[in-house]
Structure 1
């Protein structure tokens, strides 16, 4: 699972993301893909009453917890022992103000997430050991959380009417981590309610009051949280915030709401929010936020639907919905090799999805590829996740650990040969099905107002034998600048630092109108081809009358080629950027060698210039090492009509 720092990377301010989606086209019509199956009345009749819903064994069910694998129990108890009795971190107002004052979001998040991780570890350790040694630590953690002014993080407080700064306690804002905290409190109450009552009869009423005040009531009475998608006057595109928060909201509601009518009405309201999220998806299920965000888009969607399935004894079953199936399978379609995934936009190039959720999702939709992929992830990352990112996820994982381990023994990832997602305009191809041998290529069309957008229409990446050759750098650690009007000052967001052309000195711009056109894909046993028109990805001042890019994988010759055919009304300059971490060396006009035995051949009229950019960022450095290199193949005398070809082979 993600560490707190990586979770912080995922937690982009929703309002800022939407603000960056410029010139958004008309919102899609409501399809009610899920809620139309049952209207509110029949839906309510299918839910079990709260007192009859027992999704997992409580801590008092000692045989169930003692039956968990010994190494799993030992790992959680050891992790909780390391924290037991130590002072809890404080959350000073001055640290909360870091984000407003200097854009830093990590100091506060490290402290806040540290509290919550420690609490979750103690809860699970107590359930596994059952000796009461961690109850005081749990009580202290719960009490501290209840006393906090805001359950979310400073980067998201701008949603309150008072704006950025300190939280206004009279206006509870529901962001990602307020919702996750409600999830933690609700599951703790469910698992350890009997033990908490022995500590004090006042603690459980306090937990219920805080969950109601901070989440259940605001979400029931307000439509203006943009992530909900429920306000007709607020119809911006939705992203991972919607299912991420909905999954936590649904769990807190199902576990803690005492009024059955309100409980079912809220669950149905959440289903309508999920429906609105699905309205923004293309039928191919492609996630324009990328594989790392799938863990909080597709995987959180699964959690929502699984909670409803469980809380109705299987009578509320939405897993047969075609779009639900496609959203699930995206995660293995975007897989390259090992921990490498196709990482366009803000997605990370190295991802470890939650193997349990992928496996369980695959089981529900009856997809063998997804089942195998989830089991393979679990087999290649077998260590217990002792820093759970959400308590509900952790509980589900520990109770499926034994079965998942048994399924993982011989699991292999599907490694799909050809993928084309026409909605998000993403193409991938490898040399042969089920193998990482040889070249792999991925490319995209799309537009420059996608969620977590980079200016990268026409971008592509190349791998060989499961290792990167030409790359998409991704995104640095998030700061206040990342989701502001200055976003595209950041080097990783610019088309010049993607595998894209710069035409007559003009780079791509952000906005919905900057898009690909006439996107096509074809493949057979000999080759795979992706083609798109890039004219509209550039301002008129670039002088582009036509720019047709073709990305081709030759399976027979084991090579990749990129062919650009163009017509220009201005002929000042053309520059083709190629991003790599491999040291390049020019050996002759029109030929570069890359570290590792790779050869780039290109038109001799192009001049190669090598730039280097330090990759010391805490997110990028572990992936790419200390340097990212850019090869600029440029001409100051391009023809008005012509083309350039770049071919990549292995010696």
Structure 2
């Protein structure tokens, strides 16, 4: 197998030299439907509860029309910026097909096989597998619809080709009997839409040739590996199969090469699932396809990134969120993928976080994240039979690569206060302008918050990105200095960020001056500390200007608060969402705070925060220092 060697020395290169791939029919790590010891719903080892749930839901929709992504909705990306109308229909079409595929594997019923045939043909006849928001057809061809003679390989194309490969692997024998030559159609479309352009064009931005490697890289390369392993199965395609898998591994190597030694993801926890987790899953498939010859457990960054989810956990369904991540992502993540990676890398804490989400009597996996993830979860006995465990909730976490610090009152418990602070820079992936931002949680629930992101539109990744309020530093828990907010770009950067922790005190320090290059700052030193002995968080800011001018009213501290806020002299009482205990915020009593209630109407925000967030602005005129504190509320306290 012609993997690169001397010219391309990266973490994976030496691990894949000279390996031999299994035959296509045995290359994917899921038994086919013909293996009734796994798929028989009465006696098989696959998750019976999950299969029964999928069959029931699939049965309820079988007589209904298939979702239809429409051309007019695809064009909306270029007309009004809406991308969800097309994507929602396309995603639900694929999820329906995944449900039908499992129903067919479990029952071998011809009516379910026909349902799979219908879904496969719909995908084969869909003009493009690329999500319209990603296609370059407008810039290259002047078209608002896909150019079928010049397909673009993106996340969507990768997801479809992998789904078809998993179906071919799972139900190939049944498809040959029920719809002869359909599998040849699958292979034709895979070659035309993915294999040929993947090899022909090597300027895909997600390959990372410019050094900017992001989560698309492992997501797409992992899906290409799955598709090539299964669908390139003719003897005369063996060399091409090796070449495509080698190119995909070379691409994965670029991702692993820039993954920091601490395993942190600058896009945050929510993107770990479709970045580092995708890399771990792709390498797990490759380990199976090579009979274990590919063993990446010694790669430090991969081992450490397995720990990233539990190092980002606040409690319950709440996680540290930066960039475009949500503070409370959907709870039904593919936890089996984390569990499997934790077992492979011997990380018991990571396995415990995954197991804390295993609910006996509920399905072991869902179709929301793709057919491959669904099949892996349903057929992983260690996951299906896993017992619930308490999450690890480490007391202190410091990730130097992203300069993110998390401290809670005690290990193993979300009770009380937790502090999150970050340095970093404003050129991170899916960046928000948030250098120096703090988040405070009580009982695991954020109260001083990072709003996250609204629904993606065409503007989200265009020149107007920072017109979106959630991306701006004025809507994060950082100051506005002389009316100046933080700009985007890696030059807006934290200085001297560091953290330290003892049994009594956890402290994060940073200088924010370089994050405000046009504000004339000599320094803006922020100290955020959790005093464990007093159950108190302190946020101290001290600053001075290069011109020694006094501070004016256009310099303000900002706080974004989730919950019911009652302003009082010298502070505010906040009743957080989700039933967490009330807290009191305190600041100097002569500061006249203004509060702006931000009504929320975007579902990605309301499903996390409810109907509103409150934005507090604290004018800092004539000051060179201010302290804000957060403590649990007690009934006897009186701020009057």
User: TM-score, normalization: structure 2?
Assistant: 0.92
- Are positions 1:514 and 2:492 aligned together? yes
The counterpart of 2:443, out of the listed 465, 472, 480, is 465
The counterpart of 2:355, out of the listed 375, 390, 396, is 375
Please report how far the alpha carbon of residue 387 of structure 1 lies from its aligned counterpart in structure 2 after TM superposition.
Answer: 3.2
Query: Partner residue of 2:4?
Result: none
The counterpart of 2:216, out of the listed 222, 241, 245, is 241
The counterpart of 1:214, out of the listed 189, 193, 197, is 193
Query: Partner residue of 1:157?
Result: 135
Matches within 5 A, 1:82-97: 82-97=60-75
Query: Which segment drifts farther, 332-341 or 79-88?
Result: 79-88
Q: Is the 8 A contact 1:121 1:386 kept in 2?
A: no
Distance 1:70 1:38, change over 3 A: closer
Matches within 5 A, 1:384-463: 384-400=364-380, 402-409=381-388, 411-463=389-441
- SS of residue paired to 1:255: helix
- Are positions 1:628 and 2:610 aligned together? no
Query: Partner residue of 1:100?
Result: 78
Return the alpha-carbon distance in structure 1 between the equivalents of residues 362 and 179 of structure 2.
38
- SS of residue paired to 1:638: coil
Return the alpha-carbon distance in structure 2 between the equivalents of residues 388 and 604 of structure 1.
50
Query: Partner residue of 2:34?
Result: 60
- Are positions 1:615 and 2:575 aligned together? no
Return the alpha-carbon distance in structure 2 between the equivalents of residues 51 and 495 of structure 1.
52
- Are positions 1:648 and 2:630 aligned together? yes
- SS of residue paired to 1:593: strand
Q: Is the 8 A contact 2:47 2:384 kept in 1?
A: no
Query: Partner residue of 1:22?
Result: none
CA deviations on 1:87-140 (whole Å, 9 max, x unpaired) are 223333222111111111111111111211111110011101222221111111
Query: Which segment drifts farther, 388-397 or 566-575?
Result: 566-575
- Are positions 1:186 and 2:165 aligned together? yes
Please report how far the alpha carbon of residue 86 of structure 1 lies from its aligned counterpart in structure 2 after TM superposition.
Answer: 2.2
Please report how far the alpha carbon of residue 158 of structure 1 lies from its aligned counterpart in structure 2 after TM superposition.
Answer: 2.5
CA deviations on 1:558-604 (whole Å, 9 max, x unpaired) are 1101000111234323211111122222322x222222531111123
Please report how far the alpha carbon of residue 149 of structure 1 lies from its aligned counterpart in structure 2 after TM superposition.
Answer: 1.2
Return the alpha-carbon distance in structure 2 between the equivalents of residues 517 and 162 of structure 1.
45
- SS of residue paired to 2:67: coil
Return the alpha-carbon distance in structure 2 between the equivalents of residues 121 and 591 of structure 1.
53
Return the alpha-carbon distance in structure 1 between the equivalents of residues 48 and 165 of structure 2.
26
Query: Partner residue of 1:116?
Result: 94
Please report how far the alpha carbon of residue 206 of structure 1 lies from its aligned counterpart in structure 2 after TM superposition.
Answer: 0.7
Return the alpha-carbon distance in structure 1 between the equivalents of residues 432 and 321 of structure 2.
11
Structure 2: segments with no counterpart, 5+ residues: 1-6, 576-580, 634-640
Please report how far the alpha carbon of residue 632 of structure 1 lies from its aligned counterpart in structure 2 after TM superposition.
Answer: 0.9
Q: Is the 8 A contact 2:49 2:362 kept in 1?
A: no
- Are positions 1:603 and 2:578 aligned together? no
Please report how far the alpha carbon of residue 217 of structure 1 lies from its aligned counterpart in structure 2 after TM superposition.
Answer: 1.4
- SS of residue paired to 1:649: strand
CA deviations on 1:144-163 (whole Å, 9 max, x unpaired) are 11111101211111267225
Distance 1:403 1:621, change over 3 A: same
- SS of residue paired to 1:482: helix
Q: Is the 8 A contact 2:136 2:152 kept in 1?
A: no
Return the alpha-carbon distance in structure 2 between the equivalents of residues 388 and 582 of structure 1.
30
Query: Which segment drifts farther, 568-577 or 529-538?
Result: 568-577
Please report how far the alpha carbon of residue 331 of structure 1 lies from its aligned counterpart in structure 2 after TM superposition.
Answer: 1.0
Please report how far the alpha carbon of residue 265 of structure 1 lies from its aligned counterpart in structure 2 after TM superposition.
Answer: 2.0
Structure 1: segments with no counterpart, 5+ residues: 1-28
Q: Is the 8 A contact 1:305 1:319 kept in 2?
A: no
User: TM-score, normalization: structure 1?
Assistant: 0.91
Please report how far the alpha carbon of residue 72 of structure 1 lies from its aligned counterpart in structure 2 after TM superposition.
Answer: 2.0
Q: Is the 8 A contact 2:28 2:226 kept in 1?
A: no
Return the alpha-carbon distance in structure 2 between the equivalents of residues 168 and 119 of structure 1.
25
Q: How many residues align?
A: 608
Measured on the aligned residues, the alpha-carbon RMSD in Å equals: 1.7
- SS of residue paired to 1:213: helix
Please report how far the alpha carbon of residue 54 of structure 1 lies from its aligned counterpart in structure 2 after TM superposition.
Answer: 5.5
Please report how far the alpha carbon of residue 386 of structure 1 lies from its aligned counterpart in structure 2 after TM superposition.
Answer: 4.4
Matches within 5 A, 1:11-410: 32-39=10-17, 42-43=18-19, 46-53=20-27, 55-66=29-40, 67=44, 68-158=46-136, 161-162=140-141, 165-229=144-208, 231=209, 235=210, 237-258=212-233, 259-351=237-329, 352=331, 353-379=333-359, 382-400=362-380, 402-409=381-388
- Using CA pairs under 8 Å that are at least 6 residues apart, name the structure with larger relative contact order, 1 or 2: 1
